[in-house]
Structure 1
Amino acid sequence: MFKTWLPFEWIVALRFLREGRLQTIFIVVGVALGVAVIVFMSALMTGLQMNFIARVLSAQGHIQLLPPKEVTRPLRLGVHARPGEMEAAIVQAPLQRLKSIDQWQAVAEQIRAMPEVLVVSPMAGGSALVVRGIASRAITVAGIEPALYYRVVTLPTKITSGKAALSGSDILIGTELASDLGVTVGDKLRLTTANSAAAGGDTTLTIAGIFDLGNKGANQRSTFVALRTAQSLLGLPGGVTSLDVTVRDVYAAELVAQRITAATGVEADSWIKTNAELFTAIAAQSTSNNAIRFFVGLSVAFGIASVLAVVVVQKSREIGILRAMGISQGQVMRVFLLQGGLLALAGSVVGSALGAGVLTMWHRSVRTADGTPLFTLVLEPSLFLSVLAVATLTGLLAALAPARRAARLDPVVAIRG
């Protein structure tokens, strides 16, 4: 009943597809397999990249601001030096002292005003020695403001025992350090630094929580205390050694870091710069994924074009009769373009469902050593919409050459065969 409302081109295109059922099924299956590969690879790469980035940024901000390094300048010869006289100087790099970012409160406020920035968290960090009885370990102390830092690094989710709350007398330590020292939540540790005399002596802190950052080295060295506690321990009254920044778009972190350096004059290192090899690997994955999608799409296009070329040969007599009845070349072209678009659309719908189903089953079956999923499953609607659009466009382009050939058929020659 509904066919009476269809345009002429749709009626002819659907009839051609129905008459060549076997060819139609084969090409739809071929398109579906190609689209399934594209959906599977795209969602897999997206999930793996998000997992990599989440692991890298699980213990650091997107951008870190650091105080400028100390440099030495050699003494130059005076203006009254005699001709031919040469400078003889040995310049040694100075020892980098622990120092604060100059006027860090004003810098932090300036950065927070940027629309790309979400959080700015101050930190006072340095080296220390933790003592428990006759045992001692070298550690790094990070003084933080929990309300801000926990928005940069989700440390509370990594607590295995105790709590992430920090008062002036609390400390958070890693699981490896707790095992080495034989301590647990509620035990006390004595911390000392190289400038403990200037900082007011050693500090005794109570273990408030034990965390697991997923890295053995970090769990052995990293500790967290309140910002004021670290400032007192490290001899940095009111100062901070770094500012951790998170931005809205993690991939734009390097551009934001350059803007921050230009606006404030403070050195800003993004996670992209400090993890250049990882970012290069992610870019290489994206390139390989795009190459796979291109060649799969190309094979699908050739498949559709070859089938429609065969249809033109098979239906040449019918095309000739239609042309003799007054059908225009444009209508003939639209018939074959519709066939290409419908084949690609049907195959992309089936392929999208197939790719999503296979990826979901694979995601449920593949696990890491600790039983957690290997990657985060990401099936965004935009992925399927883009696949449907690109596949349909590919089908139309693939049908263009056969459609033009069909439209140019001479009616008399086509009817005579």
Structure 2
Amino acid sequence: MKLAFSIATRFLKSSKGQTALIAIGIAIGVSVQIFIGSLIDGLQLSLIDKTIGSSSHITIQPKGKENYFEDNDEIINKLRKDDRFTAVSKSLDASGFVLQDEETYPVLMRGFEFENANNIYKLDEKLIEGNLPSSSMEILLGKNLVQELGFKIGDKVSFLTPDGRYMESKLVGVFDLKVASLNKSWSISTIDNVGEIFEKEGSLSTIETQIEEVFDADIIAKSLDSYLQEFELESSNWKVQNEELLSGLAGQSASSIMIQVFVLLAVLLGIASVLAISVIQKSRQIGILKAMGIKDKDASLIFLFQGLLLGVIGSIIGTGLGISFSYIFSTFVKNPDGTPLVPFYLDIKFVGLSVAIAIASSTIAALIPARKSSKLNPIEVIKNG
């Protein structure tokens, strides 16, 4: 085996141009695999983050037509002790109206525990003016609604409930959720304030959560349902509510895999064809080696080792190129606001798998020329020159 490896390295060194050509082909194939794979993964993570990064992954709500349920610390404590959950927050929602110059504007009043809700909605990052409510009777309004009604920080905002009750709250902050409909229709305050305005003290409308593994939302939600039944509650998850997004992500993944497969096939054919030519070029040397006593197995190993070495060299170069291309793309291709169009993302497992596949493929591609070399008749090769 050592002899076959030594001869393989000599053959590669003696045909430097040919060796460089194959190594570059493998490097390009690996770099395209890593670049496309990292690009698609980064794009998917970006889409998921923008779509559900600041929203509830699993939401617990009352069954049937009920809108509210009694606040229950047992459920909250159970969820917070579960390592699968990264955030758990109570919320109390109620529909009402903002009064301005005898005009009414429909809003959804959302009551949060800000310490916990901030882990989901990143409200402190979404504030463009003012502060989060620190006491009852303080509220946040969206940028679009504030602009339309001409409110300023410190103004009193009048609310009218569906049953005709009238309450005032102080505007302490303005948020921008990057969604015009939410900026115009959401009013955010403490749970206590919303409970007082709508006479729902001690009630909740939902328990909102985020989990570590976002794609396990449906599995985790299903595992909760049997426990929630005794409280007449049920769960919903983001995957059910975003089927079109999941379909798009699946399509992206399939496209990425197809591109990588065709690139891999092109590399395989290139390696096999070049090494097959190499067998013909080196047939005289192989014939002499066989005449000197080298076994057919060792003659085959020469080309298998060539494929292995070329795969290793090409994979190392290709990995460097693929990671560099991904970083350059994320650095220089940006959105109008200066953020990366696709964030840089590097999955070490994916890179390792790409390298392993490239090395295995280049070795497998060498099987055909290896088999051909083992069948060479030394007498005929030397006789025919």
Q: Does 1:230 align with 2:212?
A: no
Q: Which amino acid aligns with 1:157?
A: E
Q: Does 1:17 align with 2:19?
A: no
Aligned partners of 2:133 and 2:190 also within 8 Å: no
Which one of 266, 269, 272 corresponds to residue 305 of structure 1? 272
Cα deviation, residue 7, structure 1: 2.9
Match of 2:181 in 1: 217
Match of 1:241 in 2: 205
Q: Which amino acid aligns with 1:143?
A: G
Aligned partners of 1:166 and 1:225 also within 8 Å: no
Counterpart CA distance in 1 for 2:96 and 2:325 is 51
Match of 2:236 in 1: 269
Alignment of 1:10-159 (within 5 A): 10-70=5-65, 99-102=67-70, 104-159=72-127
Match of 1:94 in 2: none
Aligned partners of 1:112 and 1:120 also within 8 Å: yes
Match of 2:162 in 1: 194
Counterpart CA distance in 2 for 1:166 and 1:242 is 22
Moved more, 278-287 or 108-117: 108-117
Task: Give the SS at the match of 1:368.
Answer: coil
Q: Does 1:381 align with 2:345?
A: no
Task: Give the SS at the match of 1:13.
Answer: helix
Cα deviation, residue 103, structure 1: 5.8
Counterpart CA distance in 2 for 1:58 and 1:164 is 20
Counterpart CA distance in 2 for 1:341 and 1:375 is 34
Cα deviation, residue 102, structure 1: 4.9
Match of 1:358 in 2: 325
Cα deviation, residue 257, structure 1: 1.0
| Pair 1:58–1:210, CA change in 2 (3 A) | farther
Describe the superposition over 1:33-56 as per-residue Cα deviations: whole angstroms up to 9, x where unpaired.
Answer: 222211111111111111100111
Counterpart CA distance in 1 for 2:72 and 2:285 is 81
Please report the RMSD computed on the Cα atoms of aligned residues, expressed in angstroms. 1.8
Structure 1: give runs of 5+ residues left out of the alignment: 1-5, 71-96
Task: Give the SS at the match of 2:204.
Answer: coil
Cα deviation, residue 367, structure 1: 1.9
Cα deviation, residue 233, structure 1: 2.0
Q: Which amino acid aligns with 1:409?
A: L
Number of residue-to-residue matches in the alignment: 381
Task: Give the SS at the match of 1:251.
Answer: helix
Match of 1:75 in 2: none
Task: Give the SS at the match of 2:335.
Answer: coil
Cα deviation, residue 297, structure 1: 0.9
- TM-score with structure 2 setting the length: 0.93
Task: Give the SS at the match of 1:296.
Answer: helix
| Pair 1:28–1:176, CA change in 2 (3 A) | same
Aligned partners of 2:111 and 2:192 also within 8 Å: yes
Describe the superposition over 1:231-272 as per-residue Cα deviations: whole angstroms up to 9, x where unpaired.
Answer: 222332201011111111001111111111132123211111
